[in-house]
Structure 1
Amino acid sequence: MIQMMDYSNEPCRDILCVDVKSFFASVEAVERKQHPLKAKIAVVSKPDNNGGLVLAASPLVKKLYGIKTGTRVYEIPKNVSIEIVEPRMALYVKRNLEIVELFKQFVADEDLHVYSIDESFLDVTHSHGLFGTTEEIARKIQYLIWKKMKLVVTIGIGDNPLLAKLALDHDAKRNPDSNYIAHWHYESVPETIWNITPMKDFWGIGSRTEKNLQRIGIHSIYDLSQFDVKKLKKRFGVIGEQLFFHSHGIDRTRLSDSFTPRETSFSKNQILNRDYIEKHEVEIVIREMAEENAMRLRKHHLTAG
């Protein structure tokens, strides 16, 4: 017997998850008077160095050459018509702020969550009286961003932030025929969420978690949804319980609720321009990052546990 959830008491709001397609590369295309979906641009950190990293690639570059975020310069095919450009972070931040201001035409500040420089969540539940249905609001946002900035946005629509995010990543981004808009709701969980493959593509499941789930007989999101939640919690803690409810499309997050993390953490990452194979070189890099974190801890009068 298939295990289904009773969604009658779950929050049901009108959430948009809005993403600008290949944001950095699209901004660079517009600056060059090119259509973002027709341009062949790769934004690369340190393009003169073989270890330089692709930060963003135009959709056409991804499609034709398989180049994506994280590709190294030496992996870019030679003698292809790709325009390599250096990143202009100040410009991207400026464009992001312009987009955020546009979002604020449709929702109050507390109903807007900027998730990253190219992705935001909007709760438009209280916006229908002014701007129409959820679909109409999504299309108005798409139109305004295109009219003012010539950027293409994709939008996932869901009953909660999780469903909106999954609709964006697994449907809207891949479906130009629907004008890059997709709806995922509680009633469509069996046809949508349960069909996401591989498991590591699901929000909150990485390669390591996928392997750990496989060890106990879970090989799909459907398997996860049918597993004993008590056993999941015992094995993985609160994360296991959360994954179980996520596999049923349940997310009780509300954008307007303020969130204060219980822990404060500091981290440091660094992109290396070449392979480090000498022990003393590796130690130098680690020591530099550790010392910077230690300095930040002292500045905030914190100790590590």
Structure 2
Amino acid sequence: MKKVIMLADCQSFYASVEKAAHPEYADQPVVVAGDPARRSGIILAACPVAKSFGVKTAETLGEALGKCPELVVIRPRMRTYIDVSLAITRIYETFTDLVEPFSIDEQFLDVTGSLKYFGSPEEIAKQIQAKIMLATGVWSRVGISDTKILAKTACDNFAKKTEEGIFILPQAEVSRHLWSLPISKMYGVAGRMTNHFLRMGIHTIGDLAKIPLPKFKQMLSQRMGKQSHVQAQIFHETSWGIDPSPVSPGTFGGGQKAIGHGMTLPIDYARKEDIEVVLGELSEEVCRRCRSKGFMGRVVSVGASGADYDHPTGFNRQMTLPDPTNITKEVYAAVRSLFHRHWDGHPVRRLGVALTGLSDAGTYQLSLFEDKEKLRQLERTTDSIKNRYGSSAILRASSLMASGQARERSMKIGGHYK
């Protein structure tokens, strides 16, 4: 029996949530953007009315206002969007237990076993749309196919353009619907890869699909090196709609391999003293997360990069500690050592810290020379204060310096205000 897989996507999710919360904006061009008070930041979401003026996601607020001076600009509320997304997940789960989040506003559903209870794939899609609209005021579009890749392709390229917001793309009809699309529309192909394909004479998905796989591997390896053979295989299978991966509810849940935290700085940091403040904050956050999940880590990783993506600078290095730990003092000492060993002195715009080689925090090596249990008790106490009163309730003195980011970060989720 062929699988029936859906990709359900919420239209202009952040903006739709805001319009549902503000009925007075129903017919107005609404965008959600970084900082309306300063008239700065980028567009995170634009409603269909705003898009009709040419406003696009990811452009600057200034550019958007130039196209549509009447824009209603709303500051993002990430906590609210997460709550609405979770409520939508619960709606999906009334139809199937095979629900896999793809992003905050997109989720895969395998409804193969649900057909005899809820009707045809199209009928299920309509029921899902109605339930989401009734519960949240958000309109959703649904792509339906035999595989996850084709379900997403159906949603992104066809369902979003139909009045009912539903499109079925069987694998048997790939040549009819998929192959005429520009190569840039193929799943997994971004701007840089699009340019590679265009220079190779591949303009549509069909152009790629019709190239025999051995020849395509040879073409891609000539352009990108022999290590691209696996990538060539994936691209070729995608052009035919082949995707054996199942809808996996636990994709984001189990088997944690690493705990890390990174951030983009508001300006370039060039002084080592300023960089060390942020590295200390990141180390503390990573260790706090480890403690909350009951892990220690033995491998410390540090990453740094500059702001110029055309002339990249930076590094990503790691070192193994003598014993696993989640004590901030120990992790920060390793982070600081790693950073200064590999930093070339160029200004830094992004920093990241991670712990891997995770193990159970309940088992650890005792030390004869240092009272680590005292340190653990101190950090458990500070964790409990932060859990109860917020992450900025207790800060290190260094975080109060101009270079510190912990207080500002505590007001955000995923880099945006809660």
Q: TM-score, normalised by structure 2?
A: 0.61
| 2:264 alignment partner, one of 247, 270, 282 | 270
1:138-177 map, 5 Å: 138-176=125-163
1:233-244 map, 5 Å: 233=217, 235=221, 236-244=228-236
Corresponding residue of 1:302: 299
Give, in whole Å, the separation in 1 of the partners of 2:111 and 2:147. Answer: 11
- % same residue: 28
**3-state SS, counterpart of residue 262 of structure 2:** coil
Higher strand proportion (structure 1 or 2): 2
Structure 1, gaps ≥5 residues long = 1-10
Q: Is the 8 A contact 1:16 1:164 kept in 2?
A: yes
Shift of 1:212: 2.2
Corresponding residue of 2:383: none
Q: Is the 8 A contact 1:268 1:289 kept in 2?
A: no
Give, in whole Å, the separation in 1 of the partners of 2:213 and 2:278. Answer: 39
**3-state SS, counterpart of residue 68 of structure 1:** coil
Corresponding letter in the other structure for 1:70: A
Corresponding residue of 2:13: 23
C-alpha change, 1:287 and 1:68, in structure 2 (3 Å) is: farther
Give, in whole Å, the separation in 2 of the partners of 1:301 and 1:130. Answer: 49
C-alpha change, 1:208 and 1:286, in structure 2 (3 Å) is: farther
C-alpha change, 1:226 and 1:31, in structure 2 (3 Å) is: same
Larger relative CO (CA 8 A, sep 6+): 1 or 2?
Answer: 1
Q: Is the 8 A contact 2:65 2:71 kept in 1?
A: no
The C-alpha deviation readout for 1:111-170, integer Å capped at 9, x for no partner, is 110111111110000001211111110000011111222211111111111111000000
| 1:40 alignment partner, one of 17, 23, 29 | 29
The C-alpha deviation readout for 1:8-31, integer Å capped at 9, x for no partner, is xxx831111101110110110011
Give, in whole Å, the separation in 1 of the partners of 2:24 and 2:109. Answer: 29
1:118-197 map, 5 Å: 118-176=105-163, 179-197=164-182
Corresponding residue of 2:410: none
Q: Is the 8 A contact 2:100 2:250 kept in 1?
A: no
Corresponding letter in the other structure for 1:252: P
Give, in whole Å, the separation in 2 of the partners of 1:81 and 1:125. Answer: 46
C-alpha change, 1:226 and 1:292, in structure 2 (3 Å) is: farther
**3-state SS, counterpart of residue 122 of structure 1:** strand
Shift of 1:219: 2.6
Corresponding residue of 1:75: 63
Corresponding letter in the other structure for 1:190: S
C-alpha change, 1:228 and 1:265, in structure 2 (3 Å) is: farther
RMSD of aligned Cα (Å): 3.0
Corresponding letter in the other structure for 1:248: W
The C-alpha deviation readout for 1:235-258, integer Å capped at 9, x for no partner, is 222111001010011111111486
C-alpha change, 1:159 and 1:98, in structure 2 (3 Å) is: same
**3-state SS, counterpart of residue 113 of structure 2:** coil
Corresponding residue of 2:198: 214
Q: Is the 8 A contact 2:20 2:138 kept in 1?
A: yes
Give, in whole Å, the separation in 2 of the partners of 1:286 and 1:214. Answer: 41
Give, in whole Å, the separation in 1 of the partners of 2:232 and 2:275. Answer: 32
Corresponding letter in the other structure for 2:77: R
Q: Is the 8 A contact 2:155 2:166 kept in 1?
A: yes
Give, in whole Å, the separation in 2 of the partners of 1:113 and 1:257. Answer: 5
**3-state SS, counterpart of residue 237 of structure 1:** helix
C-alpha change, 1:55 and 1:284, in structure 2 (3 Å) is: farther
Shift of 1:290: 7.1
Q: Is the 8 A contact 2:269 2:275 kept in 1?
A: no
Shift of 1:175: 1.8
Q: How many residues align?
A: 283
